[in-house]
């Protein structure tokens, strides 16, 4: 069935969906209140703080004039935390404590237990992402209908873990394929009410951009090394290094200068140049994945440009730094707004036909994602 036949099968009252971000007052007050209550409660209020911020941001996202609604509660997040505490953190802490008592404070078992913990976190990272996404979707309503993920978090987790290993083993070259597979897996599990999202597409179109970014990154690293060694050689660092007549004070100064040059170069390349290069790929991937995604036959488009991704990242980083992390609600608002302002849906959707999701609502959420500090919302 092609797009035109889908369009023909839609009833006359099918609607095109328009996304908009309608800002509401109150985020500053919310941020300040959350900070104060977090301080008073030794950061245990964070679950409720997160919920209030989500409620605010969700309510600013309008689809055809009707806002999204976040129905999660702080207590659900807190319960999720308690479960992770009981099955994950506490057993590890008790195990460490027992090792400490039985084998002594310097036992290598501490390191083995720590490595095992890191491994477990890596294995469960995808699980945490999936469960957090599922919880957020199930607590997101539009027109009284909620979303969900219908698949298995464990399958996604294994896929995610395997993909991380494959990415590092292929020096990153399998990234476009594996990101596409992961996106396909999670998007095809996504539902709004009883209506499904569909993801279909190949990683091929991502490769030219990926290859360009990969090669430019390599060139940037090699370039930085060439600049470093040539300037070091030109300024006589190497001669000084092997010159035993030099007094120690001069040598220390030279090394200090050299260390500064290395540090600045490292900062420029690692924190500015390389992320900016990879913003080209990120923007391409966002655009491509959007066009691969359909809802009720309508196709998404996302007009994310490299410049907009860089600007989003830089400003968010500045907010994070200058508010000492307390401006996170604004960062989340900017992330949501970035997507909403650039997202369009080509085609019409038979909204009236969409029924409520029958998926069971879990009573708790995001424990692992909170413990691992998985990114996102």
In the complex, the residues that contact other proteins under the rule CB under 8 A are: 22, 24-26, 29-30, 33, 37, 40-42, 44-45, 48, 55-56, 59, 66-67, 69, 81, 84-85, 88-90, 92-94, 96-107, 110-111, 114, 141-145, 193, 351-356, 370-371
Closest to other proteins by CB, 6 vs 85, is: 85
Residue at token pair 């309608």: 22
- In this structure, the number of other CB atoms found within 10 A of the CB of residue 223 comes to 14
Nearer to other proteins, 9 or 107 (CB): 107
96 versus 344: smaller Cβ distance to other proteins: 96
Closer to other proteins by CB, 144 or 249: give it: 144
Q: Which two tokens stand for residue 180?
A: 């596409």
Minimum separation from the CB atom of position 161 to other proteins (A): 20
Least distance (Å) from other proteins to the CB of residue 302?
A: 23
**Tokens 């000084």 belong to which residue?**
240
Minimum CB separation of residue 351 from other proteins in Å reads 5
Closer of 92 and 161 to other proteins (Cβ): 92
Dist CA 231 CA 91 (whole Å):
54
Q: Which is nearer to other proteins, 189 or 296 (CB)?
A: 296
CA–CA distance, 36 with 56 (Å, rounded to integer): 18
Q: CA angle 277-125-192, nearest 5°?
A: 85
Rounded to the nearest 10 degrees, the angle between the axes of helix 109-138 and helix 153-169 is 120
What kind and span of H or E run contains 141?
strand 140-142
> Least distance from C-beta 344 to other proteins, angstroms?
20
Q: Burial letters for 145-183: b for 16+ Cβ neighbours within 10 Å, e otherwise?
A: bbbbbeeebeebbebbbebeeebeeeeeebbbbbbbbbb
Q: Name the nearest CA neighbour of 153 among 138, 133, 167.
A: 133
> To the nearest whole angstrom, how small is the minimum distance from the Cβ of residue 73 to other proteins?
12
We find the least distance from the C-beta atom of residue 97 to other proteins, in angstroms, to be: 3
């Amino acid at each position: 069935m092609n797009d035109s036949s889908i369009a023909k099968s839609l009833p006359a009252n099918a609607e095109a969906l328009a996304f908009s971000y309608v800002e509401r007052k109150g985020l500053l007050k919310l941020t300040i209140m959350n900070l104060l209550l977090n301080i008073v409660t030794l950061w245990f209020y964070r679950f409720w703080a997160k919920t209030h911020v989500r409620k605010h941001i969700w309510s600013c996202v309008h689809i055809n004039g009707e806002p999204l609604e976040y129905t999660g509660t702080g207590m659900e997040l807190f319960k999720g935390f308690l479960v992770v505490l009981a099955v994950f953190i506490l057993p590890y802490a008790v195990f460490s404590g027992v090792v400490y008592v039985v084998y002594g404070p310097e036992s290598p078992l501490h390191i083995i237990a720590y490595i095992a913990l890191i491994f477990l976190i890596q294995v469960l990272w995808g699980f945490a992402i999936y469960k957090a996404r599922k919880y957020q979707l199930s607590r997101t309503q539009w027109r009284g209908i909620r979303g969900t993920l219908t698949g298995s978090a464990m399958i996604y987790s294994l896929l995610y873990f395997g993909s991380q290993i494959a990415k590092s083993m292929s020096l990153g070259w399998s990234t476009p394929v594996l990101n596409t597979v992961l996106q396909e897996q999670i998007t095809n599990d996504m539902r709004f009410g009883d209506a499904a999202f569909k993801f279909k597409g190949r990683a091929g179109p991502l490769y030219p951009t990926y290859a360009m970014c990969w090669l430019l990154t390599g060139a940037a690293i090699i370039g930085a090394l060439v600049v470093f060694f040539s300037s070091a050689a030109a300024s006589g660092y190497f001669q000084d290094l092997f010159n035993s007549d030099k007094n120690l004070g001069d040598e220390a100064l030279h090394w200090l200068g050299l260390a500064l040059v290395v540090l600045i170069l490292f900062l420029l390349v690692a924190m500015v140049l390389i992320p900016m290069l990879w913003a080209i790929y990120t923007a391409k991937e966002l655009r491509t994945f959007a066009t691969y995604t359909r809802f009720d036959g309508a196709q998404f488009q996302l007009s994310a440009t490299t410049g907009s991704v860089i600007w989003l990242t830089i400003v968010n980083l500045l907010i994070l730094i200058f508010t000492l992390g307390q401006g996170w609600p604004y960062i989340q608002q900017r992330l949501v707004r970035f997507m909403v302002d650039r997202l369009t849906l080509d085609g019409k959707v038979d909204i009236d036909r969409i029924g409520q999701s029958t998926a069971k609502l879990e009573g708790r959420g995001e424990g692992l994602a909170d413990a691992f500090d998985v990114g996102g919302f």
